[in-house]
Structure 1
Amino acid sequence: MPLFQKAVFHTTVAHLRDLPTDARSEVAFAGRSNAGKSSAINTLAGRVRLAFVSKTPGRTQHLNYFTLAEGKYFVDLPGYGFAKAPEEIRAQWEGLIGPYLTRRGPLVGLVLIMDIRRPFTDLDRRMIDWFRPTGRPLHILLSKADKLSRQDQTKVLRAVRAEIATWTEGSNGGRYSAQLFSSLKKTGIEEAEQVLAGWLDMPLPEPRQAAPKTPPATAAVKQKAPG
């Protein structure tokens, strides 16, 4: 049972002045256009169309809020890096994302979705450099892991974690982490839930226990008739 299965759409924010005032804690999701950000949100919520998956990269231009519990939210940030987006829309994205990431009080962490086949693009690094000075935790989902062999998945994950380890002189105090993730194969969900539950102070669901096996029917014992 997904931890965030009760997630529902709350509001769309185009201006920072319209951010929800009741927020106690919120996790933001960022990623390059077509990296699988909306699909990751849908997968974590166990839903098909909670976050809109557009065939047109760059369509999401505002901050989309999803309620998880009272005062707790997922925030879907605009995808970045879509070259054909008009200049004024790109400027609007930067005007929203930058101030939101650096000034938003209830923001407890950032989930950065990176396509496992193209990790750490220039725009990903720009986003990371924007966010790291806040001191808040960052968790990387290497999405579309199913596109690579198991051996290549391990290789990329190892390289990403090695780079993360250098960000604060080899010790990041647990603020930075990375994992494999696949919306198609539904892999990496529990690992992500553990990270986000800690950030949001939400209890993890009880592990599903296997149903007790039904004992075999007792065979009737035939008794000889007396005599």
Structure 2
Amino acid sequence: EGSRMEGSSRQSESSREDGCDGGVQAEDGGGDGEDGEEVFPEIRLNLPTPNKVKVKNAEYLKSCVTVSDCPPPRFPEFAVIGRSNVGKSSLINMLTGRKELALVSKEPGKTRCINHFLINDSWYLVDLPGYGFAKVGLQGRQQFDSFTREYFTRRPNLAMVLLLVDASVPPQRIDLQYANWLTDNEVPFALVFTKADKRRKGLNAAVRDSHVTAFKRQLLQDLAFLPPSLLTSSAKGLGRGELLNFIAALRVAYERSGRLEAIRQGMLR
């Protein structure tokens, strides 16, 4: 129960030999690109070209502490998850163009509910509780993790999880564990690296890129190939268009198929 797609990106000999079919392909990787940048084997989704990428209206809908209280699954849903203080609220504000749509707080773990936002009256953007060092105690963290994971495996209209990873710090074990958990439970997800603009002593673009590269390398120790990935900066608006296009393409596929299984099949092999 709770299985969402056929296959997974878990490391296996057969997955390396057979390749991909259907709605996804894996790009060749493991070498260097034309500019010397390391190239990774990453999923390339065969999605239609989107025709709606503008956010015309966005409204807060409701906050829930149980999955059963979530809004009716009438629209495709895109959920944002990541460590506390990774920039979930800032990313939601950037995507929607509404500076205060999601409460941005310096207190890690401020978001402790499943928060639904209705976008263009046609899809949901969901802010999930941050995991990690939220100051809510061990029992509280376990409770949040429990109903968040229940959401992943039981929400029928979940089209994609956006797993946020802080590009300004080295790879964190908990982020790698979460990516592996999503893979094991066949939950479709993309990596969204945040804080690409962050500047502090000892941190520049080269160091940031090394963090992203190191994270991908470590993830490939367990996976045959990587999920789609994007680099963003909420402060600078970097990656906004690419992420909106990605979401819009998934929505087009959802609308054409009429059922989520058609777009989930093969996303993680």
Assess if the C-alpha contact under 8 Å between 1:2 and 1:44 holds in 2: no
2:236 aligned residue: 185
Q: Letter of the aligned partner of 2:113 in structure 1?
A: H
Cα distance in structure 2, aligned partners of 1:119 and 1:196: 27
How far the C-alpha of 1:113 sits from its partner, in A, is 1.2
* The structure with more radius of gyration: 1
Q: For 1:71-104, what per-residue CA distance to the aligned partner results, in whole angstroms no more than 9, with x for missing partners?
A: 5201100011125313332132022111111221
How far the C-alpha of 1:53 sits from its partner, in A, is 0.7
Counterpart secondary structure, 2:55: coil
Q: 1:157 aligns with which of 197, 212, 220?
A: 212
Cα distance in structure 2, aligned partners of 1:129 and 1:168: 8
When residues 161 and 59 of structure 1 are mapped into structure 2, their CA distance, relative to the original with a 3 A threshold, is: same
Over aligned residue pairs, what C-alpha RMSD do you find? 2.4
Q: Letter of the aligned partner of 2:192 in structure 1?
A: L
Counterpart secondary structure, 2:197: helix
Q: Does 1:15 align with 2:66?
A: yes
Q: Does 1:38 align with 2:89?
A: yes
How far the C-alpha of 1:49 sits from its partner, in A, is 0.7
Number of aligned residues? 199
Q: 1:199 aligns with which of 250, 264, 267?
A: 250
2:125 aligned residue: 74
Cα distance in structure 1, aligned partners of 2:64 and 2:134: 23
Assess if the C-alpha contact under 8 Å between 1:2 and 1:45 holds in 2: no
1:142 aligned residue: 193
Normalised to the residue count of structure 2, the TM-score between the two structures is: 0.66
Counterpart secondary structure, 2:62: strand
Assess if the C-alpha contact under 8 Å between 1:157 and 1:180 holds in 2: no
Normalised to the residue count of structure 1, the TM-score between the two structures is: 0.77
Aligned sequence identity (%): 33
Assess if the C-alpha contact under 8 Å between 1:108 and 1:136 holds in 2: no
Structure 1: runs of 5 or more not aligned: 203-227
How far the C-alpha of 1:39 sits from its partner, in A, is 0.3
Cα distance in structure 2, aligned partners of 1:104 and 1:65: 13
Cα distance in structure 2, aligned partners of 1:149 and 1:200: 35
How far the C-alpha of 1:112 sits from its partner, in A, is 1.1
Cα distance in structure 2, aligned partners of 1:7 and 1:197: 15
1:91 aligned residue: 142
When residues 157 and 3 of structure 1 are mapped into structure 2, their CA distance, relative to the original with a 3 A threshold, is: farther
Q: Stretches of 4+ moved more than 6 A in 1?
A: none
Cα distance in structure 1, aligned partners of 2:242 and 2:215: 17
Counterpart secondary structure, 1:201: helix
How far the C-alpha of 1:57 sits from its partner, in A, is 0.9
Cα distance in structure 2, aligned partners of 1:164 and 1:107: 23
Structure 2: runs of 5 or more not aligned: 1-51, 254-269
Cα distance in structure 2, aligned partners of 1:160 and 1:195: 22
Does 1 or 2 have the higher relative contact order (CA < 8 Å, sep 6+)?
Answer: 2
